[in-house]
């Protein structure tokens, strides 16, 4: 096969493989769909967007957000602030409903809620001024406060007082936040770097067959 034709084939293979490699770089990514006004990390969200572990999602009083991840879906209700963490969500305030078959959990301050089994489980956590309301809609969930753990059966609901933990979080929030991780760890930086490398490879591979400085015999 002629070298230039082989080079072109390799270029197309590289183009096809690059998007898959980028997705594999962050397996915790999911798709977010917004109805109404919402933000990711303080930036306005269009009707749909990718969301990555560590992203803060906020909804206005007229908005609802759905996040679809592998084996799980999350509904963030209006007037809520939630951190997406891959196989977990952390509630700062507001209400979240999770439907999962792979153990996605919800944490609200010092209160953690985890499905008891791998069967389809639907549960809701609502933060109301330091009082955490938990509802097990389908399947059982385990509720932990760090000092005690109990099981909430399907159809039941309970509350936990997390006001003391809320005070601690407010005091901690008064300090200057540390950097949220190395810049190069960002999925956007990974994508940009991979794109630059892929572009460079394509440029090199698409050059002519003749050497840059041919030498006549």
How far is 26 from 24, CA to CA, in rounded Å? 5
Q: What is the pLDDT at residue 192? A: 45
> Could you tell me how many residues make up the chain?
217
Q: What is the pLDDT at residue 146? A: 87
Q: What is the pLDDT at residue 117? A: 95
Q: What is the pLDDT at residue 198? A: 52
One digit per residue, the tens of pLDDT, for the chain of length 217 reads: 554 555 555 445 444 444 444 444 445 899 999 999 999 999 999 899 999 999 999 999 999 999 999 999 999 999 999 999 999 999 999 999 999 999 999 999 999 999 999 999 999 999 988 799 999 999 999 999 988 999 999 999 999 987 766 655 555 544 434 333 333 344 544 444 445 445 544 544 555 555 444 444 4
Residues 18 and 77 in one domain: no
- Residue 217 in domain: no
113 and 141 Cβ atoms separated by less than 8 Å: yes
- Residue 189 in domain: yes
**For helices 3-24 and 187-205, angle between their N-to-C axes, nearest 10 degrees:** 180
How many distinct structural domains can be found in the chain? Answer: 2
Residues 38 and 130 in one domain: yes
| 181 CB burial (10 A radius; 0-12, 13-18, 19+) | exposed
- Residue 138 in domain: yes
Residues 200 and 111 in one domain: no
- Residue 116 in domain: yes
Q: What is the pLDDT at residue 200? A: 43
Residues 146 and 48 in one domain: yes
**Range of 51's domain?**
30-172
Q: What is the pLDDT at residue 168? A: 57
- Residue 213 in domain: no
Residues 49 and 155 in one domain: yes
Measured at the alpha carbon of residue 74, what is the angle toward residues 72 and 78, in degrees to the nearest 5? 175
Contacts of the segment 101-109: beta carbons below 8 A, 24+ positions apart: 101/71, 101/72, 102/70, 102/71, 102/72, 104/69, 104/71, 104/72, 104/74, 108/132, 108/162, 109/162, 109/165, 109/166, 109/169
Considering only CA atoms, which of 69, 140, 142, 63 is closest in space to residue 95? 63
Residues 195 and 102 in one domain: no
- Residue 8 in domain: yes
Q: What is the pLDDT at residue 2? A: 52
How far is 154 from 124, CA to CA, in rounded Å? 12
CATH code (residue 158): 2.60.120.1440
Residues 76 and 18 in one domain: no
Residues 44 and 12 in one domain: no
Residues 102 and 126 in one domain: yes
Residues 93 and 49 in one domain: yes
Residues 148 and 166 in one domain: yes
Q: What is the pLDDT at residue 178? A: 39
């Amino acid at each position: 096969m002629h070298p230039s034709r082989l080079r072109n084939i390799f270029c197309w293979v590289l183009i096809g493989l690059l998007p898959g490699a980028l997705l594999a770089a962050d397996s915790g990514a999911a798709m977010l769909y917004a109805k109404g006004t919402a933000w990711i990390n303080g930036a306005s969200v269009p009707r749909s967007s990718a969301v990555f572990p560590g992203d803060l999602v906020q909804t206005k009083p007229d908005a609802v957000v759905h996040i679809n991840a592998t084996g799980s879906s999350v509904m963030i209700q209006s007037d809520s602030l939630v951190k997406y963490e891959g196989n977990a969500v952390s509630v700062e305030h507001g209400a979240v409903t999770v439907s999962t078959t792979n153990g996605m959990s919800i944490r609200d301050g010092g209160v953690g809620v985890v499905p008891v089994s791998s069967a389809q489980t639907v549960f809701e956590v609502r933060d109301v001024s330091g009082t955490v309301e938990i509802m097990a809609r389908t399947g059982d969930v385990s509720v932990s406060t760090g000092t005690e753990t109990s099981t909430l059966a399907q159809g039941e609901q309970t509350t936990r007082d997390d006001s003391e933990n809320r005070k601690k979080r407010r005091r901690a929030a008064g300090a200057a936040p540390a950097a949220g991780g190395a810049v190069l760890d960002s999925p956007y930086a990974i994508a940009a770097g991979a794109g630059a490398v892929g572009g460079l490879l394509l440029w090199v591979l698409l050059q002519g067959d003749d050497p840059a400085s041919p030498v006549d015999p």
